[in-house]
């Protein structure tokens, strides 16, 4: 059961959006998020929904995959909406009971916040659904590179991300193995209250940590044996290159932002 967890949610199909440079996609996502916060009319959201729908169609990722991302935030969404409905003053009073008052302004803000959150999540899931984790790492490294002068360890961050991606499945498999070994000797992970179950995890965590440290040590030695000495003087086999389609994507993104500002 533990192996079902997938890292990232990359949906591999061939689409123009998949072929875009990861840096383009990251920057466009930023533009999109910033634009969202400038809109405070419902017509504006209508426009964003239409634009988003068009973009999703271009990615060829089924729309239900996009909506899946919303499941994780249902709770936050409800919380935000409810809080805003009851506690934002302003406008005509629609409903009043004891200390609870619902105003027109409150309902409006609540709906707006809800829409904003939903659009935010769907929009940024386009990035993670169409970009493989490796591309994403490369993109982040390249975008952070200019900040290296002020002490941002761009290469190190990217290296850490890609090593984590490499070892997450290995450590998951190992957890599975350790759990089975403990279960074979009568360990019980399924019954009891939360405290008991948490305590039952200790015999899993300890060997897992020891093995992770051992792996880290061996990996470090193997990397050094292959002449790894940090990002300085390093070349890349597949370096990122902006293509013409990235240029088009930026133009569309900028137009989108301008329209958002006007609305």
Which of 64, 74, 235, 244 is in the footprint of other proteins by CB under 8 A?
235
Neighbouring residues of 41: CB distance < 8 A, sequence distance ≥ 6: 263
Q: Does residue number 162 form part of the binding site for other proteins (CB under 8 A)?
A: yes
Q: Does residue number 13 form part of the binding site for other proteins (CB under 8 A)?
A: no
- Provide the phi-psi class of 8: left if phi over 0, else alpha when psi is between -120 and 50, else beta: left
Please state the separation of Cα 4 from the chain's center in Å. 19
Which of 215, 245, 252, 259 is in the footprint of other proteins by CB under 8 A?
215
d(CA 217, CA 29): 37
Which of 6, 98, 193, 238 is in the footprint of other proteins by CB under 8 A?
238
Coil, helix or strand at residue 98: coil
Kindly state the number of chain residues that form the binding site for other proteins, as judged by CB under 8 A: 27
Please count the CA atoms within 13 angstroms of the CA of 1 that sit on its side-chain side: 2
Contact 55, 95 (CB under 8 A): no
d(CA 254, CA 236): 31
One character per residue 105-144, x = contact with other proteins (rule: CB under 8 A): ----------------------------xx----------
What's the chain's Rg over C-alpha atoms? Answer: 24
Query: Taking the complex as a whole, how short is the minimal distance between the CB of residue 255 and other proteins, in angstroms?
Result: 34
Stretch that binds other proteins, among 40-48, 85-93, 216-224, 254-262 (CB under 8 A): 216-224
Which of 70, 111, 154, 165 is in the footprint of other proteins by CB under 8 A?
165
| Residue number, 104 or 173, with CB nearest to other proteins | 173
Q: Does residue number 222 form part of the binding site for other proteins (CB under 8 A)?
A: yes
d(CA 248, CA 172): 41
Stretch that binds other proteins, among 80-88, 148-156, 200-208, 212-220 (CB under 8 A): 212-220
Q: Does residue number 6 form part of the binding site for other proteins (CB under 8 A)?
A: no
Which of 64, 71, 92, 226 is in the footprint of other proteins by CB under 8 A?
226
Q: Does residue number 241 form part of the binding site for other proteins (CB under 8 A)?
A: no
Query: Footprint of other proteins on this chain (CB under 8 A)?
Result: 133-134, 162-163, 165-166, 169-170, 215, 218-219, 221-229, 233-239
């Amino acid at each position: 059961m533990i192996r079902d967890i997938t890292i990232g949610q990359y949906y591999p199909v061939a689409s123009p959006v998949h072929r875009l440079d990861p840096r383009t996609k990251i920057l466009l996502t930023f533009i999109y998020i910033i634009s969202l916060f400038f809109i405070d009319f419902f017509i504006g959201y209508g426009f964003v929904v239409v634009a988003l729908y068009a973009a999703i169609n271009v990615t060829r990722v089924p729309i239900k995959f996009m909506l899946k991302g919303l499941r994780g935030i249902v709770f936050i969404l409800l919380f935000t909406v409810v809080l805003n409905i009851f506690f934002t003053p302003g406008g005509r009073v629609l409903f009043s009971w004891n200390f609870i008052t619902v105003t027109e302004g409150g309902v409006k803000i609540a709906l707006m916040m809800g829409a904003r959150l939903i659009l935010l999540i769907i929009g940024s899931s386009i990035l993670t659904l169409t970009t493989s984790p490796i591309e994403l790492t490369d993109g982040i490294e390249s975008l952070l590179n200019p900040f290296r002068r002020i002490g941002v360890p761009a290469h190190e961050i990217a290296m850490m991300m890609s090593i984590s991606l490499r070892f997450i499945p290995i450590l998951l498999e190992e957890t599975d193995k350790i759990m089975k070994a403990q279960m074979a000797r009568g360990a019980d992970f399924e019954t009891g209250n939360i405290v008991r179950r948490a305590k039952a995890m200790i015999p899993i965590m300890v060997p897992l940590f020891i093995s992770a440290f051992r792996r880290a040590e061996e990996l470090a030695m193997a990397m050094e044996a292959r002449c790894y000495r940090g990002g300085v003087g390093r070349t890349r086999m597949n370096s990122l290159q902006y293509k013409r389609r990235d240029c088009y994507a930026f133009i569309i993104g900028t137009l989108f932002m301008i329209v958002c500002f006007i609305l």
